[in-house]
Amino acid sequence: MYDKPLVSVIIPTFNREKLLPKTIDSVINQTYENWELLIVDDKSTDDTKKVVMDYAKKDNRIKYLLNNGNKGPAAARNFGINNCNGKYIAFLDSDDQWLKNH
């Protein structure tokens, strides 16, 4: 489908239901389209999962991963790395946003 390499974008997150939509939108709105987005939930207690799943229903490039414990962002990033398919990996914090040509 795409002739450019797949980029795996990994977002570790914990209780960011209110901030995640803008972060996810900043990935969706990229000019580069061959990406997968892995959002690694570090056992949130809010509606983070619902937010991500609502996006995943609309875009199959978005995947929700649940860490098996609250282990912090480094462990969540590593979990994402172990589950990604891209030739390249990019990290994005759950409270940040990218410009459209990142």
Query: Would the pTM of this model clear 0.75, i.e. be above it?
Result: yes
In whole angstroms, give the CA distance from residue 66 to residue 72: 12
Instruction: At 52, give phi and psi (nearest 5°).
Output: -65, -45
In whole angstroms, give the CA distance from residue 28 to residue 52: 13
Q: Summarize the confidence of residues 2-29 as an average pLDDT.
A: 96
Q: What band does 53 get if pLDDT is binned at 50, 70 and 90?
A: very high
Residue whose tokens read 């929700």: 64
Bigger pLDDT: 71 vs 10: 10
